Structures are given as structure tokens and as C-alpha cells.
Structure 1
Amino acid sequence: MIQIENLTLQRDGQPILTGVETTIPATGLTALIGPNGAGKSTLLHGLAGLLPPAAGRVLVNGIDIASARPAERALRVALLTQNPLLVPRLSVRDLIGFGRWPHHRGRPRQEDRDHVDEALRVFDLSALEHRSLDSLSGGQRQRAYVAMAHAQATPWMLLDEPLSALDPRYARDIMERLHRLSRPGEGARGVVIVLHDLGMAARYADWVVTLRDGRLVRSGPRPEVMTTEALSALFETGLAVDECRGRPVVLPV
């Protein structure tokens, strides 16, 4: 699991998150939600150990992630940031192969190639493996970046708004695949994802962390956190949690 202990994070000397304390389960899909400027992306970077805490700490499976060496962090968490750098002529296979760098350090083995093949299969990219990134649609390209994080084969995948600018088809496709990867069992990953789409959070998240103004509001199982009253208060607008065909949905009211 990830234990967040009285965590305060700063950027340019200014506190962005203050006194966050919660835990995130070792498997399943955890959604970070909240208004713009709540500190969601900052928290994700803190979970990856890229922002040294001004106070408190983050333990990833018992390891203080900010104190770990970069090589050790890369074997524990895979972070996909917003708007990753696009290298136009890079092929899909080569991009996914970058996820194996922490394991082979420039000397790929058959095991690394096998992981790339598996990521291509899991994210339905095998037919596109030799295509350049700039020849793909936005949805296909985003799937390739998520596949790169998957190929890193870490216990945790941390994804910052991977659904941004995607149409419903591709957004749902990515969430379905991440949801399957996070199911308990052999090879399960803990997936932590920053989401603005509350409908996707309601449908796929097992655990939800809500933030506002740099502070933790609630954290817990999705049905307990994503309620009509809690979401309306969090976003300061009328929102209703209902059901459609047996699945939870979030509607403006």
C-alpha cells in the first residue's frame, strides 16, 4: 500500500498540499479528484518521489519513496505525466521499450522484449508497433504512452489525466484496460489516476481521494466518498450520483 503521512508539498517555496494523511490500497484503481488547483497533480508527483516533502513522508510498500535512489524509485513506481514529450519519428515499439530502461540500463534482454510484446498485446497495439507516433490518432498515441508505463512492470502506475482530450471511445478503452490490470491477483498493479471525468471515476474507481485547496477532504471506498452531498460540496455546484443500467453515474442538477 501507499501510506501518506502528514504530507506537505511545496513548489517554488509555496505550499501546494498541506497535512495530507491517508492510505491507498495495494491493488485496485484509485482516483484523485477535486476542483482545478486542488493539488492532484502535485500529490501524484509526491507519490512518485519527485517532490521532496517539506513535511511528512510517503511510504510506497514500506519504502520512503522520496529518500530512495532514482534507480530504486523507477522499479517501484511508473509515472505518466500530462502531455508527455512527442518524438515524431519514434515508433510505438521503441516508445514502449523506454519503459524497460530501469531494468536493462541500455542492454535489453529477451525478458525486456517479452515485456514490450506483452504491453503491445494488453493495450491492443501490436498492429501499430512499427508506426511512428505522429502517424497515430490522439487516442492511439495516449494508449501507447500508458503501455510504456505498463511495460515498466512496477507495482504502481501513477497516471496524470491520461484521458485528457480523448473522445468517449478511447477514454473508456483506456479505463477498461487499466481496471483489468488493477484487479487483485497475480501481476495486479496499483493504479492511481488523476481524473476530471467524474463519470469515469464513478464507474471504474475502487478507492477515491478528494482534494480541495491543497487539503485532503475525503478518502475511502468509492461508494462512501462519491455521494451526491459530498461531490456537490467538493465542487460547489449541484451534482447527483445516480444509477444507469446498474452502474453509478454523476449528473449535474
Structure 2
Amino acid sequence: MISLDSVAKRYGSQVVVNDVSLTIKPGGITSIVGANGAGKSTLLSLMSRLEPMNAGIITVDGLDVSTTKSEVLAKRLAILRQENHVTIRLTVRDLVAFGRFPHTQGRLTDHDQEHIDQALAFLGLTELQDRFVDELSGGQRQRAFVAMVICQDTDYVLLDEPLNNLDMRHSVLMMQHLRRIASELGKTIVIVIHDINFASVYSDSIIAMREGEVVTQGTPDEVMNSRTLAQIYDMYIPIHEIEGRRIGMYFWAPEMPVRR
């Protein structure tokens, strides 16, 4: 499991993550939700050691992320940032193969090729594997980067806004892919996501943040209620149950007062 104990992050005098303690249990999808500036992406970066903490301890299966060797941590945990750019021209297969680097240091074996094939198949990229990444659509490119992270074959996969720049159809396809990866490959997936309804429909657990702090953590049924969402987003969001899933009608919420 991933455990956070009294974790804090500051940029100068600005507190971005404030004394956060929580546990993410193995398995399934955990979504981190909250308004802009809530500290979601920063929290994910702290979990993966992309950014240092100012206080607290984070462990992954008992390994302290601050002191564990990079090559050891990279076999337990993988992260995909919100913005990803490739500076050299690569095929989709070459990009996905980068996920094997912590295991091979660039010397791919037949076993590694099997992992690459599996990642391509899970993300529906087999037929595109010889295309160059810069020739792909936005949705295809995003799937290629997720396939690279999955190919790293870690128990924990952290994704920062995996639906970024995707239209409705590709957003649904991405969440379906992630659901299959969690269920069929037994991965623990932690995602930062803006749309509370995608979090509600596809997640096993939701962590809700506001102003650097965790407001609540629980199942979608526990988090998706108007009272809790008002604490997170400062607005009343009617909740309707559709086919057993709680959906927030935020696009049809009552008019909100203007803050002065």
C-alpha cells in the first residue's frame, strides 16, 4: 500500500499540501478530485518523488520514497505526468519500450518484448505500433504514453490527468482501459481527475482535496453526495442515481453567488 504520514509541501510561503495523512490500499482505481489549486497533482508528484517534501513520510509497500534507490522504486511505482513531450522521433513501439528501462537498462530480451506486446494490446495500439508518435491523434498519443507506463510493470501506477485534452469518446475509452488494467492485471492505479462523474463511475475509492488538505476519502457512494461536494467545490451539486451510479449534475447546479 501507499502510506502518507503528515506530508507537507510549500513553495516559499505558499502551502500547497498541508499535513496530509492517508492510506491507499492495493488494487483498483483511486481517484484524487478537487478544484483547481487543491494540491492534487502536487500530492501525486510527492508520492512518486518527482518533488521533495518539506515534511512527512511517504512509503510504498514499506519503502520510504525519500531514501529508496531510484532503480528499486522504479520497479514498484510508475508515474505519467500531465504534460508529456517526445523530443526525438519515435515509433509507438519504441516509446512503449522505454517503460522496460528500469528492468533492462536498454537491453531488451524476449521477455521484455512480451511485456511490450501486452501493453500495446491492452491499450488498443497493436495496429499503430509502427506509426510515429507525432503522427498520432491526441487520444492515440495519450494511450501510447499510458502503455509506456503500464509496460514498466509496476504494482502502482500514478497518472496525472490521463483524460487531459481527450474528447468524450476517448475519455470513456481511456477509463475503460484503466479499469481493465486494474481488474485484469491487478494494478493499483491512482489518478488525478477533474470530472467527478468519471471518478464516481470507474473508481473504487475517491480522495477529495481542498486547499492542500484532504476533505474526505471513501467509496464513490460515500463521497458523491451534495453536502460533501459542496465542501469541496463551494457549490451545490444535485446527485442523481443512474444505473446504480451516482452522477453529479454540476452543469445544472443552481446559480452561485459571486464572490467579491
- TM-score band by shorter chain is over 0.9
The percentage of counterpart residues that share the same residue type is: 39
Determine the structure 2 residue equivalent to 1:91.
91
Q: Decide which of 234, 245, 249 is 1:236's aligned counterpart.
A: 234
Q: Where in structure 2 are there 5+ consecutive unaligned residues?
A: 254-260
Taking the aligned partners of 1:113 and 1:12, their CA distance within structure 2 comes to: 45
DSSP 3-state at the match of 1:193: strand
CA drift of 1:86 comes to 3.0
Determine the structure 2 residue equivalent to 1:81.
81
Determine the structure 1 residue equivalent to 2:134.
134
Native 8 Å contact 1:232 1:240 kept in 2 = no
Does the C-alpha gap of structure 1 residues 128 and 12 become closer, same or farther in structure 2, counting only changes over 3 Å? Answer: farther
Taking the aligned partners of 2:216 and 2:193, their CA distance within structure 1 comes to: 15
Q: Which moved more, 1:239-248 or 1:132-141?
A: 239-248
Query: Which aligned runs of 4 or more in structure 1 are off by greater than 4 angstroms?
Result: none
The reply on whether 1:50 has 2:61 as its aligned counterpart is no
Taking the aligned partners of 2:178 and 2:163, their CA distance within structure 1 comes to: 12
The reply on whether 1:216 has 2:218 as its aligned counterpart is no
Q: How does 1:103-118 map to 2 (within 5 A)?
A: 103-118=103-118
Taking the aligned partners of 2:244 and 2:87, their CA distance within structure 1 comes to: 42
DSSP 3-state at the match of 2:46: helix
Q: Which moved more, 1:155-164 or 1:7-16?
A: 7-16
Native 8 Å contact 1:50 1:66 kept in 2 = no
Q: Which moved more, 1:224-233 or 1:110-119?
A: 224-233
Taking the aligned partners of 1:64 and 1:52, their CA distance within structure 2 comes to: 12
DSSP 3-state at the match of 1:182: helix
Taking the aligned partners of 1:44 and 1:62, their CA distance within structure 2 comes to: 18
CA drift of 1:14 comes to 4.0
TM-score (norm 2): 0.93
Determine the structure 1 residue equivalent to 2:59.
59
Determine the structure 1 residue equivalent to 2:247.
249
Give aligned pairs, total.
Answer: 251
Letter in 2 for 1:180: R
Taking the aligned partners of 2:150 and 2:25, their CA distance within structure 1 comes to: 19
Determine the structure 2 residue equivalent to 1:196.
194
RMSD: 1.4
Letter in 2 for 1:49: R
Which whole-Å deviations, capped at 9, do the CAs of 1:84-116 have from their partners, x for residues lacking one?
A: 013462110000001010000021111111100
Taking the aligned partners of 2:244 and 2:207, their CA distance within structure 1 comes to: 23
DSSP 3-state at the match of 1:144: helix
Native 8 Å contact 1:88 1:132 kept in 2 = no
Letter in 2 for 1:188: G
Letter in 1 for 2:196: L
DSSP 3-state at the match of 2:238: strand
CA drift of 1:174 comes to 0.8
Taking the aligned partners of 1:249 and 1:225, their CA distance within structure 2 comes to: 11
Q: Where in structure 1 are there 5+ consecutive unaligned residues?
A: none
Taking the aligned partners of 1:149 and 1:70, their CA distance within structure 2 comes to: 16
